[in-house]
Amino acid sequence: DAGITQSPRHKVTETGTPVTLRCHQTENHRYMYWYRQDPGHGLRLIHYSYGVKDTDKGEVSDGYSVSRSKTEDFLLTLESATSSQTSVYFCASQGDGETQYFGPGTRLLVL
Amino acid sequence: GQQLNQSPQSMFIQEGEDVSMNCTSSSIFNTWLWYKQDPGEGPVLLIALYKAGELTSNGRLTAQFGITRKDSFLNISASIPSDVGIYFCAGQRTSGTYKYIFGTGTRLKVLA
């Protein structure tokens, strides 16, 4: 499996505060993704990146932004957290072998 | 957003039994992946399939890339308690479209 880490692993925050989640991979993978996982919805793509500074929106991007200044790091920011953004967030990376590897997840609770 | 149809949604089985689950779509896929997710963990890749008709094994797990390229199957033989978890399929529609579409998951519970 690819070396993918996420930080923090757990976070509790209040509505209206900004939150940044970090994904770090050590495999030099070109593609990186942020998903959220909610009961009954499976994995839904928030944003993805196809290279440094190259990002695009997924199916549930409203309220989220991303940045990728280095190959190994992909940041997800909730500009002003809402209770509907309480979820488990997964980062994934993918190299030219086309298989996608996931991080351990971040549990976010917005009060 | 689009998701793959995965069935069954959940299943209880007795230890030692074989398990079958599948993933279907109206679209053609070039790659199929199968993942397992344990509680509180991220999905872990089990098997990758790249060619229609391909049959690939990983221990007690066997997956097949359907001939029509619109479906894939995962079988687990002689299930054990640690097989408990959620199994996800993922499909990639074309080689140039690197994003994957995920199934809704099959929750497996094994009764000892």
Q: Does residue B16 register a pLDDT over 60?
A: yes
CA–CA dist A18, A90 (Å, integer): 18
- Residue A84 — left, alpha, or beta (φ > 0 → left; ψ -120 to 50 → alpha)? alpha
**What pLDDT is stored for residue B34 in this prediction?**
97
Say which residue the tokens 């923090």 belong to. A8
- pLDDT bracket for residue A98 (50, 70, 90): confident
Would an 8 Å CB–CB cutoff place B73 in contact with chain A?
no
- pLDDT bracket for residue A29 (50, 70, 90): very high
Of residues B39 and A5, more confidence is placed in A5
> Are residues B37 and B43 in contact, defined by beta-carbon separation less than 8 angstroms?
yes
What is the average pLDDT score of chain B?
91
Instruction: Centre a 10 Å sphere on the Cβ of residue B8 and count the other Cβ atoms it contains.
Output: 12
Q: Determine the residue type at B86.
A: I
Report the percent of chain A where pLDDT is more than 90.
86
User: Closest approach of chain A CAs to the CA of B13, in angstroms?
Assistant: 22
**What pLDDT is stored for residue A95 in this prediction?**
86
Q: Does residue B96 register a pLDDT over 70?
A: no
**What pLDDT is stored for residue B99 in this prediction?**
82
Would an 8 Å CB–CB cutoff place A64 in contact with chain B?
no
Comparing alpha-carbon positions, the chain B residue that sits nearest to A58 is B1
